[in-house]
Copies of this chain bind each other. A is one copy, B any other.
Amino acid sequence: MNCAQKEAIVTAPLPSSIEIVEVGPRDGLQNESTLLPTATKVELIERAIAAGARRIEAVSFVHPRLVPQMADAEAVMAAAPRRDDVSYSGLVLNRRGFDRALGTGLTEVNVVVVATDEFSERNQGVTTEEGLRTWEDIATRAHAAGVRAVATIAVAFGCPFEGPVSSDHVVELARRIAEAGPFELALADTIGAGVPTQVGELIGRIREKTGARLRCHFHNTRNTGYANAFAAAAAGVSTLDASVGGIGGCPFAPDATGNIATEDLEHLMAGMGVRTGLDLEELSRTGTWIGERLGKEVPALLGRAGPFPRQ
């Protein structure tokens, strides 16, 4: 057997448990064209909590013209149940978004730094370098305000405009982001471009350079999302994003699927003996329910195939 240049990076024991951040209310809905009423968004959050979710990315504080689905972010946060054991996060792209997040009483924000200039310019009107400075500014303010600041590197595994993104570049960006002390550093495969060996390599290299707590965010655009999630867990990452039902999409591939689905990720992890604290049946029901609200069959497969073994 000859060897390819890439090595399969699958290492040590898997973690005994992982934390799944429910991003359906934010990244899931944000990419859905069917606008939902505020009450449905709040019900989605309530159902996720009932299924065991304890970290929820609930809203984006972005311009309503750009992302109409998130126009009622303040109203959603005002109505979402507040519980000591549930933490919410809001995604922000700039200072204005951060101020809005603070105004809702959120104690965690997720700040996006885009790895490529072209995606960054199109997504948030700044270069990567400018995005990095925005992150530093928000991190400083968040620390002063006692708010957790998560940094997400978008298109960390590939860009729809610039194509492949070099690991060297992402590692250096991660190193600089880490200097401002993120609560967590998330690597996002925004367009489902990554593969498992790349995931393992990037995680290993970033871990060598920073002490940041790592989190991964995968889309299943090209059916690599669950393999990537497995590779991330095998590389020791114990916080993964997912959206119930696998709702969401990709603005750059109109017919493509979205985030990896929470229920399918739970099934994968549970099968490997990795606990998530989530209730598969409740998740599957919620996936089907939100699909009905959106008028589509969700990409999650557990709701269609049923659990294994059968309950």
A residues neighboring B (CB under 8 Å):
1-17, 158, 160, 163-164, 191-198, 200, 220-224, 226-227, 229-231, 233-234, 236, 238, 250, 253, 255-257, 260-261, 264, 267-268, 271-274, 300-302, 304-306, 308-310
Complex formed: what's the CA distance from A271 to B225 in Å? 13
Q: Which residues of B sit under 8 angstroms from A250, Cβ to Cβ?
A: 305
Give chain B nearest CB distance to A193 CB in angstroms. 4
B1 touching A8, Cβ below 8 Å: no
B192 touching A305, Cβ below 8 Å: yes
Count of this chain's copies in the oligomeric assembly: 2
B195 touching A6, Cβ below 8 Å: no
Complex formed: what's the CA distance from A230 to B158 in Å? 20
Q: Quick one: given A11-B10, A305-B255, are A230 and B196 in contact (CB under 8 Å)?
A: yes
Ordered by A's residue number, 13 sampled pairs between the chains whose C-beta atoms are within 8 Å are: A3-B13, A4-B13, A8-B234, A10-B234, A164-B309, A196-B230, A198-B272, A221-B301, A222-B305, A222-B308, A223-B260, A227-B227, A256-B301
Q: Kindly report which residue of chain B lies nearest to residue A305, judged by CB atoms.
A: B256
Contact of A222 among B158, B194, B231, B302 (CB under 8 A): B302
Q: Kindly report which residue of chain B lies nearest to residue A230, judged by CB atoms.
A: B227
Contact of A3 among B16, B192, B301 (CB under 8 A): B16
Q: Which residues of B sit under 8 angstroms from A5, Cβ to Cβ?
A: 273
Q: Which residues of B sit under 8 angstroms from A197, Cβ to Cβ?
A: 14, 271-273
Complex formed: what's the CA distance from A300 to B198 in Å? 22
B273 touching A4, Cβ below 8 Å: yes
Q: Which residues of B sit under 8 angstroms from A234, Cβ to Cβ?
A: 8-10
Contact of A272 among B6, B163, B255, B272 (CB under 8 A): B6
Closest 3 interchain pairs by CB? A195-B271, A8-B234, A163-B309
A264 touching B305, Cβ below 8 Å: no
Contact of A14 among B7, B192, B256, B260 (CB under 8 A): B7
Give chain B nearest CB distance to A167 CB in angstroms. 13
Q: Which residues of B sit under 8 angstroms from A308, Cβ to Cβ?
A: 158, 163, 191-193, 222
Contact of A223 among B196, B222, B226 (CB under 8 A): B226
Complex formed: what's the CA distance from A53 to B308 in Å? 32
Give chain B nearest CB distance to A223 CB in angstroms. 4
Complex formed: what's the CA distance from A191 to B236 in Å? 29
Contact of A4 among B236, B257, B268, B272 (CB under 8 A): B272
A301 touching B15, Cβ below 8 Å: no
Q: Which residues of B sit under 8 angstroms from A14, Cβ to Cβ?
A: 3-4, 6-8, 197
The interface centre, meaning the residue of A8, A255, A300 with most chain B CB atoms within 10 A of its CB, is A8
Q: Which residues of B sit under 8 angstroms from A229, Cβ to Cβ?
A: 227
Contact of A198 among B4, B8, B271, B310 (CB under 8 A): B271
Complex formed: what's the CA distance from A227 to B260 in Å? 13
A268 touching B8, Cβ below 8 Å: no
Complex formed: what's the CA distance from A140 to B159 in Å? 55
